[in-house]
């Protein structure tokens, strides 16, 4: 549910959801990095799976 909340609230970026403090900002950056890393891992594994099938 929280993931859906973030994705629907992504119009103004993630910094609108978090306070402007340095700690919260670092957490938001970490969250974005983790999300992109996870997405890249999924795409990479999918790509490798397609290559292996050939």
Whether 41 is covered by a domain: the verdict is: yes
Domain that holds residue 46: 19-54
- Sign of the CA dihedral 14, 18, 19, 24? negative
Whether 6 is covered by a domain: the verdict is: no
Question: Which one has a higher pLDDT value, 40 or 17?
Answer: 40
Whether 7 is covered by a domain: the verdict is: no
Residue 1 pLDDT? 44
Over range 31-54, report the average pLDDT.
93
Whether 26 is covered by a domain: the verdict is: yes
Whether 11 is covered by a domain: the verdict is: no
Work out how many domains the chain is built from and give that number.
1
Q: Is 18 within 8 Å of 28 (Cβ atoms)?
A: yes
Residue 10 pLDDT? 47
pLDDT tens digits for range 10-39: 455 555 555 567 788 888 888 999 999 999
Residue 26 pLDDT? 83
Whether 5 is covered by a domain: the verdict is: no
What is the C-alpha separation between 29 and 24, in angstroms, rounded? 9
């Amino acid at each position: 549910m929280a993931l859906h909340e973030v994705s629907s609230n992504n119009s103004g970026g993630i910094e609108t959801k978090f306070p402007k403090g340095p700690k919260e900002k670092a957490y938001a950056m970490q969250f974005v990095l983790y999300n992109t890393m996870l997405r890249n891992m999924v795409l990479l594994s999918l790509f490798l799976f397609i290559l292996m099938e050939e």
